[in-house]
Amino acid sequence: MPRSSPVPGWVPPDLPTSPGVYRFLSGTGEPLYIGKSVNLRRRVRGYFYGGGPNGRLADLAFLARAVSYRQTGSDLEARLLEARAILNHRPRFNRAIKNSWRGWYLEIDQGVPFPRPRVVRAVRSPTARYFGPYAGRFVPLEISRLVEDLFGLRSCAGSIRPDVDGPACLRYGIGTCPAPCIGVEGINDYRDRVREAIEFLSDVERARQLRSRLVADSGGAADGDHAGREPPATRRLEWLDELETYRSVLERPSRQRSLLAILPHSEPERRVFLPVAAGRVLPMKVASTGPRRWRNAVSDACYAVRVRELRMDSILQPDEMVISLIVRRWLESGAPDGAVYDLGTMTDREVLRSTIKDGCQAAKLRDSEPN
């Protein structure tokens, strides 16, 4: 007598072996868990066989009463659909995105009297300037430390009220803080330092100007002759050089590019368009490879990016970062199974011609494209 299958009857028997997204649902249709796989059939059925998930995912398999799925043409499309669905529904059994993919920001809040650089997990204050997000905490912490030393910003926590009779801290003693806490430097002069720091972080030209000034200062006076309690110019140059090693992450990194990615679809005569506007991943669109529809799809995708670039903040929100990091890692891995067009350097017409040249659409479109 044949052994009965451990897979419940409510699991669809026709699950495909291609990439896609699946959802385990409760008896009321609530998503309990959302996942993706390059082989939907193997992944979903694996929950019910020995050697499959244990612990909380075994509890998931026990509580679930239905499975829905969506087939995709690529692993990237599946990853993006999975992430968006998790962020929208926040299923109780999904933890990876909620706990691991939050960003870190460098914050300088100009709404307080004596601002200082801080590393935070979210954009919080409308009066603050933010830099990031960063995938980890190390880089913004290093930038914060160097900014404090280079521009003489305080590092002490909490708000301060100048007290001329208070004790000076160690950083004042070594010349890396102007001690506004004891009234050595007033609020206006201190806020000038803050503005200079923000300009440096925002504009590479300001960094070049500061370097020229420090080089001139270091050549014009001995280190012991610097004015007041400022560190010598040669020491500040060392901090500047170290801080400049992070310039690539202070400026717009690869995840903040504007581009159009074209991915395979589960149906051979269709493609998935993935527009990205300055790092923000816009909704995916499906395009037919027919000549007229293809031209319209390319034009619409490029237009959506141009419009989105005109009306966006410079800072990615945490949920936006989740999606952005997925695309960034895909780009860094060589954009497997996809074609990528840089909308920062190419015109819409050049993008259309390149998609034809690269064979992203049907051959009949290539033959019908006017010279």
Strands 66-71 and 104-109: unpaired
Give dist(CA 275, CA 341) in Å, integer.
10
The string of DSSP letters for 232-299 reads PHHHHHHHHHHHHTTHHHHS--GGG--EEEEEE-SSTTEEEEEEEETTEEPPPEEEE-SHHHHHHHHH
- Residue 348 contacts residue 299 (beta carbons within 8 Å): yes
Return the ∠ at Cα 279 (arms to 274 and 281), rounded to 5°: 35
Q: What is the per-residue pLDDT for 172?
A: 84
Q: Is the pTM of this model over 0.85?
A: no
SS3 17: coil
Give dist(CA 38, CA 18) in Å, integer.
6
Q: What is the per-residue pLDDT for 250?
A: 65
- Going along the chain from its start, the domains and CATH numbers come out as 20-100 (3.40.1440.10), 104-250 (no CATH), 254-368 (no CATH)
CA distance readout (Å), 332 to 274, 328, 351, 360: 16, 6, 21, 21
Give dist(CA 194, CA 175) in Å, integer.
17
Per-residue pLDDT of the chain (371 residues; tens, 9 = 90+): 455 778 888 999 999 999 999 999 999 999 999 999 999 999 999 888 765 556 677 788 788 999 999 999 999 999 999 999 998 998 988 876 655 556 788 999 999 999 999 999 878 888 999 887 777 788 899 999 999 999 999 988 888 888 888 887 888 878 888 888 888 889 999 999 999 999 988 888 888 898 888 888 876 544 444 444 567 888 888 998 888 888 766 654 445 689 999 999 999 899 999 999 988 899 999 999 888 889 999 999 999 999 998 876 666 777 787 888 889 889 888 999 899 999 989 999 999 999 988 877 643 433 334 43
Segment holding 218, helix H or strand E: helix 204-220
CB-count exposure of residue 308 (10 Å: 0-12, 13-18, 19+): middle
Q: How many C-beta neighbours within 10 Å does residue 28 have?
A: 7
The CA radius of gyration of the chain, in Å to the nearest whole number, is: 27
Q: What is the per-residue pLDDT for 335?
A: 92
Q: What is the per-residue pLDDT for 249?
A: 64
